[in-house]
């Protein structure tokens, strides 16, 4: 069974403008709401690919109710959230000439809420998969990712992590099966600026040395690099009109897992993951199976010969 854990879900409020001019009145051309948060996005894309998952995390208030109501329409999702006080956050996503995101901080999480979530995670069984993804509300214990990773390890389940800085770093001692930082997140982790593929690979390997089994670095419109124990793979991307990239990375994680479970091939999983990321970037919502299938033949994978 696949589980996703979103400690800080959101309602994503996506606004399309001709351009965003700070300090002036900006009028919107198109607006949309959707349930968001990285783990929730992973689950929605898994659903779109016909794969079941259970969703852990915290929801609160009217925005939390909206998320639960929206998730009910998906056939393969089983929401299992902890209800907390306050409101689930609203994250604003602005698409003008460039993309601007304003992510709010999330509700208060008390000790009981914390323990209630860990109790759910303790039900995991050997060979289950848990994806923990995204930021955490500031009130939650700072070592929550480490604690969750410890439980997943004790259960003999597989851990997948998509998070920034110390949240990600704190899981590495438990040897996650897969981590997926983007290039900026990789740079932040080591306080460096990375220009070339070789530099990206060098720092991704440092994460492997710290414990990650497989490291997937997403490079936005430039594809992705996957470092496994045996090979380094590079995917290209496709040029098309970008509608909104929100959730492209989460789609990539979902696509990777969906394909890896089926084919047990890293090359195939990277190809499918890249197509899922691009399918999301090229559409209004998150990738659907049809959209991914239209792109897949255009994704090429090379094994990188390092120098």
Ligand X SMILES: Nc1ncnc2c1ncn2[C@@H]1O[C@H](COP(=O)(O)OP(=O)(O)OP(=O)(O)O)[C@@H](O)[C@H]1O
* Minimum distance from residue 83 beta carbon to ligand X (Å): 26
Alpha-carbon distance of 7 to 117, in angstroms, equals 9
**Stretch 266-305: interaction string toward ligand X, x if CB under 6 A:** --------x--xx--x------------------------
Provide the 10 A C-beta neighbour count for residue 292.
Answer: 26
Q: Name which of residues 41 to 60 contact ligand F1X (CB under 6 A).
A: 41
Residues 53/46, Cβ–Cβ less than 8 Å: yes
Q: Per CB under 6 A, which region of 49-57, 68-76, 169-177, 238-246 contacts ligand X? A: 238-246
Q: Name which of residues 139 to 158 contact ligand X (CB under 6 A).
A: none
Residues 168/180, Cβ–Cβ less than 8 Å: no
Considering CB distances under 5 to 8 angstroms, the limit depending on partner class, which of ligand F1X, ligand X, none binds residue 8?
ligand F1X
Residues 282/289, Cβ–Cβ less than 8 Å: no
Q: Per CB under 6 A, which region of 75-83, 111-119, 167-175, 219-227 contacts ligand X? A: 219-227
Using rule CB under 6 A, residue 248 touches ligand X: yes
Using rule CB under 6 A, residue 278 touches ligand F1X: no
Catalytic residue among 12, 162, 250, 259: 250
Q: Per CB under 6 A, which region of 77-85, 188-196, 248-256, 260-268 contacts ligand X? A: 248-256
Using rule CB under 6 A, residue 245 touches ligand F1X: no
Considering CB distances under 5 to 8 angstroms, the limit depending on partner class, which of ligand X, ligand F1X, none binds residue 88?
none
Using rule CB under 6 A, residue 185 touches ligand F1X: no
Nearer to ligand X, 124 or 224 (CB): 224
* Nearest CA among 101, 103, 67, 102 for reference residue 84: 67
Nearer to ligand X, 49 or 157 (CB): 49
Determine the size of the site formed for ligand F1X (CB under 6 A).
Answer: 16
* Minimum distance from residue 97 beta carbon to ligand F1X (Å): 20
Considering CB distances under 5 to 8 angstroms, the limit depending on partner class, which of ligand F1X, ligand X, none binds residue 242?
ligand X
Q: Is 112 a catalytic residue?
A: no
The residue number whose beta carbon is nearest to ligand X equals: 249
Residues 257/3, Cβ–Cβ less than 8 Å: no
Give the catalytic positions in this structure: 250
Residue ranges binding ligand F1X (CB under 6 A)? 8, 10, 12, 36-38, 41, 91, 101, 103, 134-135, 246-247, 249-250
């Amino acid at each position: 069974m696949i589980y996703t854990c979103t400690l800080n879900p959101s309602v994503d409020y996506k606004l399309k403008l001709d351009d965003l001019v700070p300090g002036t009145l900006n009028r919107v051309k198109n607006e949309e709401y959707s349930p968001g948060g990285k783990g929730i996005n992973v689950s929605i894309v898994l659903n779109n690919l016909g794969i079941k998952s259970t969703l852990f995390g915290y929801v609160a208030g009217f925005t939390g109710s909206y998320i639960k109501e929206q998730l009910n329409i998906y056939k393969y999702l089983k929401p299992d959230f902890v209800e907390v006080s306050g409101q689930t956050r609203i994250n604003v996503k602005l698409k003008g000439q460039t993309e601007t995101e304003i992510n709010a901080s999330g509700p208060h999480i008390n000790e009981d809420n914390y323990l209630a979530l860990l109790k759910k995670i303790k039900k995991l069984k050997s060979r289950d998969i848990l994806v923990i993804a995204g930021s955490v509300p500031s009130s939650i214990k700072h070592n929550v990712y480490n604690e969750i990773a410890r439980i997943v390890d004790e259960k003999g389940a597989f851990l997948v992590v998509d998070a920034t800085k110390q949240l990600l770093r704190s899981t590495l001692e438990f040897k996650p099966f897969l981590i997926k930082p983007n290039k900026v997140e990789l740079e932040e982790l080591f306080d460096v600026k990375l220009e070339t593929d070789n530099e990206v690979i060098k720092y991704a390997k440092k994460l492997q040395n710290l414990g990650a089994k497989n490291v997937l670095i997403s490079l936005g419109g430039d594809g992705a690099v996957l470092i496994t124990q045996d090979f380094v793979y590079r995917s290209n991307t496709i040029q098309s009109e970008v509608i909104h990239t929100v959730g492209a990375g989460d789609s990539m994680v979902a696509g990777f897992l969906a394909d890896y479970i089926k084919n047990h091939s890293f090359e195939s999983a990277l190809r499918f993951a890249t197509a899922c990321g691009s399918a999301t970037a090229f559409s209004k919502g998150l990738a659907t199976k049809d959209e991914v299938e239209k792109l897949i033949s255009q994704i090429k994978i090379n094994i990188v010969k390092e120098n």
